[in-house]
Amino acid sequence: MINLEDLAMPVTIFFAVVVLGWFAWGTQTNVRAGDRVMKWLQGGLPMIGEKTALHWMGSSVMQLRIAKGKAPFRSAETLVVFEPRDVIFLWLLSRLQGRRDLMIFRGTLNSAPGFELELIDPKGWTTNQTKRDVQKKNWTPMEVTGHAALRAFRSGDADVVTAKRVADLATRAGAKLVRLSIHRDLPNVEVHLLLPKIETDRAHDVFSTIREIGEEVQRG
């Protein structure tokens, strides 16, 4: 008959090895992915600003800050949020919740926009709170022609024509759009994209589109 007490130590050691081994694998996987993404970003970030400061926030978030941006942006930051591959249980849970590697751009414009807009993918893992917020504020739903999977909300005094042009630009960014946020408060422009395919999507095209969004918002 098997003695459970005799199994306790081997089982504990086994799970400890699995968890620690997974942690090392997950950390290195994200770091290597970060190196590849950083090289890719170098083809696009100069569209926003010349000098970029890199900072790792743990092993899952890479932050690139631009203190002095090019017009229309006064400053900006780009976050690359990787799946939490270093913690096996958290990673499995996040996968079930639909979390995937994400790129988030946040920009401060030279002047505050004249309208506010939220364009979201309701299935995105970063948009649940956004949808609740705009509904609580009684923002006006807006149809985005040709983008049935997205939901748009604007503030009451928004320029509908400009808002639609910005929405059309955002869906051309070269990767799947999860959220576009235009606010008078900082950050003025926030764009969430599933991490582009660095083998096929050009960083120059992605950030050129983001810059166009900023210019359109400023004109609006």
In tens, the pLDDT along 30-62 reads: 788 888 999 999 999 999 998 999 998 888 899
Q: How confident is the model at residue 4 (pLDDT cuts 50, 70, 90)?
A: low
Per the structure block, which two tokens stand in for 179? Answer: 């959220």
Q: What is the pLDDT of residues 5-14, one digit of tens each?
A: 666 666 666 5
How many Cα atoms sit within 13 Å of 204 on the Cβ side? 1
Helices 4-41 and 88-96, axial angle in degrees (round to 10)? 60
What's the number of domains the chain is made of? 1
User: How far apart are the C-alpha atoms of 19 and 193, rounded to whole Å?
Assistant: 30
Per the structure block, which two tokens stand in for 72? Answer: 């229309």
| pTM of the predicted model as reported, rounded to 2 decimal places | 0.86
Owning domain of residue 136: 4-219
Tell me which of 16-20, 55-59, 78-82 is least confident.
16-20
